[in-house]
Structure 1
Amino acid sequence: MRISTERKGTKLLFGKKKHNYLQAVAERLEQIDEHISELEKEIREEARSNTEARSSLHDELKKTSRRELMELSGLSGQTEESFCSLREELLSERKGRQREASLNRILGDYIEAFDRLYSLVENDENHAETAELIRKQLAADERDCDIERINETGALLDYELHEVLSVEASGDAGNNKRIARVHRSGYKLNGKVVRKALVTVYISVDSEAG
């Protein structure tokens, strides 16, 4: 059967349109593929960038944590050192107080003995040479123990150092409130008074009259 020229032309026209449509679809699909590829590339780059950023942040956090740990470790060491130093100071201070208390007790026990020895030495006229040797030995013992006697006559009355037993009138105004006699020596230990001297004090007649 022969196909008419009109039908043949219509078929050719339809085939051409179909071809153009398929080509357009193919081009569109290709564009979509390219767009998808671009998106995938961007996603990969963004993921890599995020990974690098996370890695950088992680490294920075590790560095910061390590630095803070070292700082804390250093602070801990300083704190421990300060604590040890403070503990040593407190122990030393406590030992010092214990030593002072012990010396005070010892001094308290021997004060009367010192008094008796000095009394014997100062009143022994028959053995002056021996008395002088004993006096020097007692003075050396006092220096070694940081002990100081309070027994100076003529010194001004000091209520921190002296306990007044009695007063004595004096016509010399320059003697007013000066120590006339020491009845019992006072003592200092390491510069601190552990017993006041028992004394008689001059009072000038002019002072009494005033």
Structure 2
Amino acid sequence: MTISVLLVDDEPLARAGLRAILDAQEGITVVGEAADGVSVVGEVKRLRPDVVAMDVRMPLLDGIEATRTVLRAIPDPPKILIITTFENDDYVYEALRAGADGFLLKRARPAEIANAVRTVAQGDSVLYPAAVRSLAAGRRNDSARAIVERADLTQREVAVLRLMTKGLSNAEIAADLYVGSETVKTHVSSILAKFGARDRTQAVIVAYESGFV
């Protein structure tokens, strides 16, 4: 299956570079571009991409609000991969809290960029644990702590969540715990349901803000 990607960045050179990298990858195709966050919803409705690779800092409408708008306006939204220059960026963290599936550094190598697109397309998240931990450090809150306490996670779910916070994919978690990928997928789904989280990125943020890790 070919993964379709919409590029959203106000810098033409950045879009051209990402397009060149992604179009050269087997199984990935760039189906469109947008120069600002305002255009995203219309382009998503028109092109129905699997993944939106979106700059976090843009004029008119930044990546945070554009993420919220897409998730609110599109019934079956695409995966959203935030593009950033600096991993320790409050904008990135807020975009993740808004529902983005992960973030990608502009300085990343072509293979890392392609892998990030494939990872979010298959339902995993792309996170840099040290950066997320640092950004979450000052955001500990009772609401997140209450979510984790009410969830009453099983021992296996606790183990899976700890590995999720390290940025591991389902396949990597399965290898670490010596179980099947489908078993991990079941545990992840259970964690999301107990947390009331949209996706694994949201669950990881709850884990950090609660003090779980």
Q: TM-score, normalised by structure 2?
A: 0.18
Flag the structure with more relative contact order, 1 or 2, with Cα contacts below 8 A and sequence separation at least 6: 2
Q: TM-score, normalised by structure 1?
A: 0.19
Larger radius of gyration: 1
**Greater helix share, 1 or 2?**
1
